[in-house]
Structures are given as C-alpha cells and as structure tokens.
C-alpha cells in the first residue's frame, strides 16, 4: 500500500488560508443580507439622498476649475511634484539613507502611533502618501472661490470625512498592527471583527452604530449614577431627583441642575471620583437635577415652550416645594443653559419676578452666530429634511444626534473603533464616558424644530424681540441675574468664543471662566484629579481674544472657584433636608426610571 505524501508547511498554510477565506465568505454573505434588508427599508422611506446639498457645492467647485484651466493644471503639476519628491525620499530610505520626511504628520495623531508607520519604509511611504494627498485636497478646497462660504465649509467638512475614512489605518492590508495580528492569529481577528460588525448591525436594525464599550460593563444605578437620592417629581417629560445630604448643615438656597436633553444627565454623576453632583452635595448644597424622558411618538406634541414650563420651571418649583424656599440657584448645561436664558428673559418680558438667585451656564450658547461645525447640519435644506423625517415619527431618533456628534470627531469616535472592533476583532474599551456617549435620547419633533430654527438658523434668541415664547417677545439683554459662565477652550459643540459673546449679551453681573479641554472633560474635572487649568475674569472686554490676553491662568479645576462664587448666593446654613421627608414624597430611588430607558 502506497503511503500518502506528507503535507508540507506551505500546503498547511494554504489550507488554513483557504478555510479562513471560506469562513469570511459565509459571514460576508450574512452581512450583505443585513445591509440589503436595511437598504430596502431606506428606499421605502422618504429621505433626501443629499441633505447637505453637496452636489451644488461640487458643481461650483468644478465650474471654477473649468473657468480657470491654468490654475487646475498648476495644481495637478504641484501634486505630481510632491509625489515625485516623496518617491525620491522612499528610494533613499530603501537604499539605507536617512532623508528628511516629506510629510512629518501630527505627533498626536493616534492613527499612526505604531512605530512601524515610521520605521518600516513601506508603511512610512503609505502614511506619507496619504498625508500628502489629504493636505493637497485641503489646500484646493481652501482656495475655492465662492460667494457661499457655508457651502465651502460643507465641502471642506465632507472632504475631511472622506479622507478620514480613506486613511490607510482603516484597512487591514495597509495597517501594520492589523496585518501583524492577522498573520499571527491566522485571520481569527478578522472573523471576530466580522462577528462584532454583524452583532452591531443586528442590534441597531441594520444601522451603523459601533459598540463603544463592552456590553454589560456599565449600568446606570449599579456602577454609574450612584449618588443617593430620591425622585420627588415627575411628568411625561421629566423626573426631578433630590439628592440625600452628606453634611449636617446645608446652604439655605437649593441648587437646581438642568441637564441637556440630548444626552442623559448622569454625565454629572458618573462615578464617585468624578461626580459633580456628589461634590456639590459634599459642599453642602441641596441638589436637584433633571432627568429627561427619552422621546417617542407619544411626545410628538411636546414643544420648546413645554421644555421651559414642564421641564425647567417644574424643576424650580419642585425645589421650592421640597425645601420651602422661594429662591433657587440654577445651573444649565449646554442646551439646558440656553433654556435657562430663555426662561429668565421670559420672566423679564412678562414683568414677573424671577426666583432664580444666580444662574450658572455650563458650555451654553445664547448667541449662535458662530456655533461651530454644527452649523453645517442646520441650514434650511437640512432642517426641512429633518422636519419631514420627524413628521413621520413625531420625534428625532437618538441615532441621528449620536451619529452627528461622532462625525465631528470621526477619527476618535468612529474610525478608532472600526479598527479596534472590526479589524483587530477586540472588545471595545472599558471606559464609562464612552458608555454615556452611546446613551443618547430621542427628542420631540416640534421642540427640536423650534430649537434648530430659532437658534442655529436665525439666531433669534440673541436678537431683541425676535424670539417669542407663548407670544411673548424675549430680550436677553434685560436679564440682570448674577451669572457665571464656564466654557472650555477645545469645545467643538459650544465654541468658547460663541459662549463669550453669549455672556456679553446679558445685562447683569457676569463672571466668565474658560477651562482647559473640551465640552465634557473640561466640565467634569474633579479637583482631586488635579488636571487642566482655567482662566477667570469678571471684566468682559469687546472681544474674546482681548479677554484671554488680559486674564491670568490658574492650575487645577474651576470647580473650586465656582464653589466660592456660589457660596455668595447660598445663604445661611440650615439643617440638612432629607428627600421625601418634606412636602414632596419620594416616588422612587435615584437614579429613577427615566434614565434607564435606552433609545436602542
């Protein structure tokens, strides 16, 4: 009997890679079926295939090239010369030389932090070629001559999305870390990554929503939002939590916090070591906070005015009833701060006495003239398309806001997870902030439409008499409540120069503080962390640049400075109040039930 020929190592490898290809093909078939079903659903729905109207912008761009062919030719020659120089650099490296890189790149760009991107000549060439092309396109769009500056900004944003997506770090064959993992695991990382992708699509009805944190790792009420308290009021829009005291004596005037209704309130009460809520309680404040309902079709008639009356006003009245005090101190975070300014102006316009003793605005805009990159999504065409979509459901699905905010920081909030979850086949990162970031809420259609049109599109709140609530014309310049603005220097949602202009609109005494970092990390900065820095000044010169030039910098957290400022309006110390023991009875334990409702 003839013995079979031994299978050599090469044949083994070939068999293994053939098997891998077959398994990937099976998973790919499942993936295509999921995407096909979603595509069919999208075709049946009314949707604008080009909501940003980029076709018009591209038409303007290429029309400009046709009108100036010499400029187009010069640009092409320039690109060719740059690539020729890069090729010469690459050949020099292959010959053992050490030439100066053509494209240095950003040292903080985490996409290329693996040393092989610079140490390996091939991957160095791929990286620099990508950076070169990206820079060239940015320069071309920067030179675009158009009477429509908004369109030019849209095209630059769209090009950034495209170049971010086309980074060589996002493809397994051109990412050295992924390629190395693929060879070592014999492709198991790609199989696991395909499983992760299919799982995410199934959980979100075929829509792309990347898991940012390991499932089941964090849960509100178990290891997030743990500060003790009771829900003491609720309606169809909001729950109000009153927190249990941690000191025998507390400030007489209660503190009401109005959180943004785009995300969950517990960003201010994540865990004990970074909880703003717990820190305020420990400073001796009787703290109340808003927990907004996740909007569904049942909220289709909720207006912006309802957010003011059934939301903010209800929270203030709850604090008054629970403590017996007539005055309250109020914090409004982001859109919550915009709502606070609206209510203060409303009272002024109606000649009513405000119960708000002091107002604190966390990264909040009143003047939306220069509201950053979010204005790219808030022109007439896009708002109209959004309104048409909301008319069908009655609300804006949380997925849309979540995706929009992630696009503003696509490399950090989209593509880094694509690489980690789908290419490397790893679990998402164990980070509580990412859990919160994925826990968005739906927004009632009428309220969202009013907000987008009145603030972003027309900037009416900043214009005396232009914005009306219940037929009452508002003028924020008449607000004389002592106010404290906290903004952050790297904020991409509420740019600090816009919040500075907002602060200057108010008529009362204003202290303006600028903190390090961004919209979240700059606000949630516990003093115990000893991180970042801040600038503070109650003199507001004409421009934000002048203010920054004239204002000294302080190390550490702004919380300590704000606490001293707030103590002026806290009143005398009184016996601590126990939630549910006053006029308002406890409905349920904090964090309540509204915050536990997930939008997906």
CA–CA distance, 432 with 439 (Å, rounded to integer): 11
User: Within a 10 A sphere around the Cβ of 114, how many other Cβ atoms?
Assistant: 17
What values do phi and psi take at 231, rounded to 5? Answer: -75, 120
Catalytic member of 334, 413, 467, 540? 334
Integer CA distances (angstroms), 54 to 79, 150, 365, 376, 499, in order: 24, 11, 28, 11, 29
**Tokens read off for 69:** 């062919």
**Tokens read off for 430:** 């164990």
Contact 514, 490 (CB under 8 A): no
CA–CA distance, 570 with 26 (Å, rounded to integer): 65
User: Within a 10 A sphere around the Cβ of 304, how many other Cβ atoms?
Assistant: 22
List of residues 6+ apart from 353 with CB closer than 8 A = 347
**Tokens read off for 234:** 């609720």
Of 280, 332, 256, 308, which is closest to residue 503 (Cα–Cα)? Answer: 332
Strand stretches in 244-327, DSSP E: 249-251, 255-258, 287-292
CA–CA distance, 481 with 412 (Å, rounded to integer): 39
The strand pairing partners of 512, in sequence order, are 485, 537
Contact 510, 503 (CB under 8 A): yes
Q: What is the helix (H) or strand (E) element at residue 295, kind and residue range?
A: none
Pairing of strands 255-258, 238-243: unpaired
CA–CA distance, 16 with 405 (Å, rounded to integer): 42
User: Within a 10 A sphere around the Cβ of 554, how many other Cβ atoms?
Assistant: 15
User: Within a 10 A sphere around the Cβ of 296, how many other Cβ atoms?
Assistant: 15
Contact 360, 329 (CB under 8 A): yes
Of 194, 599, 172, which is closest to residue 393 (Cα–Cα)? Answer: 599
Of 586, 210, 270, 230, which is closest to residue 421 (Cα–Cα)? Answer: 210
On the CB side of 2, how many CA atoms lie within 13 Å of its CA?
3
**Tokens read off for 424:** 């490397």
Helix axes 149-165, 121-142, angle to 10 degrees: 170
Where does residue 303 rank: exposed (0-12), middle (13-18), buried (19+ CB within 10 A)? middle
Quick check: is 280 catalytic? Answer: no
Handedness of CA 444, 445, 450, 456 (dihedral sign): positive
CA–CA distance, 527 with 454 (Å, rounded to integer): 37
- Residue matched to tokens 């920081």: 409
Active site residues: 334
């Amino acid at each position: 009997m003839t013995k079979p020929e031994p299978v050599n190592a090469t044949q083994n490898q070939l068999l293994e890679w053939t098997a891998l290809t077959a398994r990937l093909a099976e998973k790919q078939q499942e993936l295509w079926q999921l995407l096909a079903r979603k595509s069919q659903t999208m075709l049946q729905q009314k949707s604008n295939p080009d909501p940003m109207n980029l076709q018009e912008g591209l038409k303007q761009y290429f029309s400009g090239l046709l009108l100036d062919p010499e400029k187009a030719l010069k640009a092409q020659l320039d690109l060719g010369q740059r690539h020729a120089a890069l090729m010469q650099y690459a050949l020099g490296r292959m010959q053992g030389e050490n030439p100066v890189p053509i494209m240095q790149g950003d040292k903080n760009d985490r996409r290329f932090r693996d040393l092989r991107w610079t140490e390996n000549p091939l991957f160095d060439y791929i990286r620099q070629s990508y950076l070169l092309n990206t820079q060239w396109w940015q320069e071309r769009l920067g030179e675009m001559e158009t009477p429509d500056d908004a369109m030019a900004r849209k095209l630059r944003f769209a090009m950034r999305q495209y170049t971010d997506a086309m980074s060589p770090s996002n493809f397994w064959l051109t990412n050295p870390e992924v390629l190395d993992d693929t060879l070592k695991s014999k492709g198991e990382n790609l199989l696991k990554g395909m499983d992760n992708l299919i799982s995410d699509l199934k959980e979100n009805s075929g829509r792309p929503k990347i898991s940012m944190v390991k499932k089941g790792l964090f849960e509100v009420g178990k290891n997030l939002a743990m500060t003790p308290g009771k829900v003491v009021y609720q309606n169809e829009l909001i729950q109000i939590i009153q927190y249990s005291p941690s000191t025998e004596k507390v400030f007489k005037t209660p503190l009401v916090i109005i959180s943004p209704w785009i995300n969950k309130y517990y960003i201010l009460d994540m865990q004990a070591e970074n909880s703003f809520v717990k820190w305020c309680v420990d400073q001796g404040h009787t703290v109340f906070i808003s927990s907004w309902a996740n909007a569904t079709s049942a909220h289709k008639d909720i207006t912006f005015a309802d957010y003011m009356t059934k939301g903010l006003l209800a929270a203030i009245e709850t604090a008054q009833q629970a403590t017996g005090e007539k005055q309250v101190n109020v914090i409004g975070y982001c859109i919550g701060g915009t709502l606070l300014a609206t209510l203060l102006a409303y009272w002024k316009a109606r000649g009513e006495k405000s119960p708000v003793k002091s107002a604190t605005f966390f990264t909040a805009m009143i003047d939306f003239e220069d509201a950053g990159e979010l204005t790219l999504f808030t022109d007439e065409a896009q708002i109209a398309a959004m309104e048409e979509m909301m008319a069908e459901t009655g609300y804006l699905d949380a997925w849309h806001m979540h995706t929009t905010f992630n696009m503003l920081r696509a490399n950090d909030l989209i593509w880094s997870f694509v690489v980690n979850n789908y290419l490397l086949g790893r679990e998402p990162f164990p980070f509580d902030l990412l859990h919160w970031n994925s826990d968005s809420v739906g927004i009632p259609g009428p309220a969202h439409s009013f907000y987008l049109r009145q603030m972003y599109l027309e900037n009416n709140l900043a214009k005396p008499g232009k914005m009306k609530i219940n037929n009452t014309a508002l003028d924020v310049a008449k607000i004389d409540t002592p106010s404290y603005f906290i903004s952050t220097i790297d904020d991409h949602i509420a740019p600090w120069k816009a919040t500075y202009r907002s602060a200057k609109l108010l008529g009362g005494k204003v202290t303006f503080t600028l903190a390090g970092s961004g919209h979240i990390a700059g606000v949630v900065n516990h003093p115990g962390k000893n991180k970042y820095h801040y600038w503070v000044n109650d003199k507001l010169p004409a421009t934000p640049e002048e203010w920054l030039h004239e204002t000294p910098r302080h190390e550490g957290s702004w919380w300590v400075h704000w606490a001293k400022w707030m103590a002026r309006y806290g009143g005398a110390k009184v016996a601590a109040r126990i939630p549910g023991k006053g006029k308002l009875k406890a409905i349920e334990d904090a964090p309540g039930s509204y915050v536990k409702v997930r939008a997906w």
